[in-house]
Structure 1
Amino acid sequence: MTTLLLADDHVLLQDGLIERLSKQPQFNIVGAANDGDTAIELALTLKPDILLTDISMPKKTGLEVLNVLHEKAPSIKVVILSMHNNKEYIMTAMRGGAKGYVLKDVSSQELVQALDIIAGGGSYFSAGVSETLLEGMNELQNKEQEDNVPTPREKDVLVLIANGACNKTIARELNISVRTVETHRLRVKKKLGVTSTAGLVKYAIEQGWVDEGNKP
């Protein structure tokens, strides 16, 4: 039997959850909390298999509860039940180790299914959440890729480096200071994960920005 602890500051909703989930023979509801501090206290005392928690609660949010339990009682599976299909909340819950994120507009049947899956060692994200999560992960991946690509100005510096120009020549050609050239050089090295001028030249050649015959 799976033991459940519920945390939500809306008493009417919580009563409805208790009534619905108590009818499932596989679940045993061991407690209920109306704020974040109480949720943590009960979770650490009762050690339920699953904590089903709202995000917006007094004293501590559901995400703060998640962080505390992830550190102090990692065996407790935390599931977020929220009305917020918010990218920031979802990504934070994922990073915090939540085993599920279910929207409050799902059917009671879907919630039961989600809890069964999580109790069995899986994870569950309702359809709307999955779409938002995928969008957030794509944005994060694109940002990481952008962070590894030289800016237009860094490309100008890189091309001149690959053509054998020294810092003073690059500064004169681009009408910038030698110190700025050195800064661009260091940033590009960091982005590309190279430690030498040869590495910069190789990258420029691979990108087709300069001919191999022009390398110093």
Structure 2
Amino acid sequence: MAAASSIRVMVVEDFQPFRRFVTSKLEQRPELQVVCEVSDGLQAVEKAEELKPDLVLLDIGLPTITGIEAAQRILGFAPGSKIIFATQETSPEFVEEAMRLGAWGYVFKKYAKRDLLLAIDAVLSGERFVSSNGVHRGLSDTL
């Protein structure tokens, strides 16, 4: 967990209703401070370079560049930022690629109500997190 009492979070999601859901979940936790909300991949890279957030909640399917590409760029200049993907992409290939490139968490949108804050807690405690639907159990143990 970051030393400061506040964890600076950037939310990257192009679907506004889901972005609103994410920020409302984050507001339940006073230590989580949303410092920026953006809706496309290039904006995410620019804002992350400027703000160097502690945590980036990132969709994969974004306009301009994918969340995967945005994450690679962000980790290039802000390796201390922890990335959690929150996406509808549930295939093992997406999960493995995201975790291999350095993401700390992967939350399936359909389980976000249950898993989002669990993922954040795990990641801020130094653990990796992948939503479980029975298919990906144990994936993070191999990384």
- 1:83 lines up with 2:73 in the alignment: no
129 and 4 in structure 1: CA distance in 2 versus 1, 3 angstrom threshold: farther
TM-score by length of 1: 0.58
Contact residue 61 and residue 67 of structure 2 kept, 8 A: yes
Counterparts in 2 of 1:130-209, with a 5 A limit? 131=136, 134=139
Which residue number in structure 1 is paired with residue 31 of structure 2?
A: 26
More strand by percentage: 2
**Correspondence for 2:43 among 38, 42, 58:** 38
Which residue number in structure 2 is paired with residue 73 of structure 1?
A: 78
Contact residue 25 and residue 117 of structure 2 kept, 8 A: no
- 1:55 lines up with 2:60 in the alignment: yes
More helix by percentage: 1
129 and 38 in structure 1: CA distance in 2 versus 1, 3 angstrom threshold: farther
CA deviation string 1:16-56 (max 9, x = no partner): 21122112112111010100000111111111110000000
Q: Matches of 1:80 and 1:98 in 2, distance apart?
A: 7
Q: Which has the larger radius of gyration?
A: 1
Which residue number in structure 2 is paired with residue 11 of structure 1?
A: 16
CA deviation string 1:106-160 (max 9, x = no partner): 15342112101111222111113862774xx7xxxxxxxxxxxxxxxxxxxxxxx
Q: Matches of 1:94 and 1:37 in 2, distance apart?
A: 21
**Correspondence for 1:114 among 119, 122, 125:** 119
Contact residue 49 and residue 119 of structure 1 kept, 8 A: no
| Unmatched segments (≥5 aa) in structure 1 | 138-216
| Unmatched segments (≥5 aa) in structure 2 | 1-5
What is the RMSD of the two structures over their aligned residues, measured on CA atoms? 1.8
Q: Matches of 2:87 and 2:109 in 1, distance apart?
A: 5
Total equivalences in the alignment: 135
Runs of 4+ in 1 over 3 A off after TM superposition: none
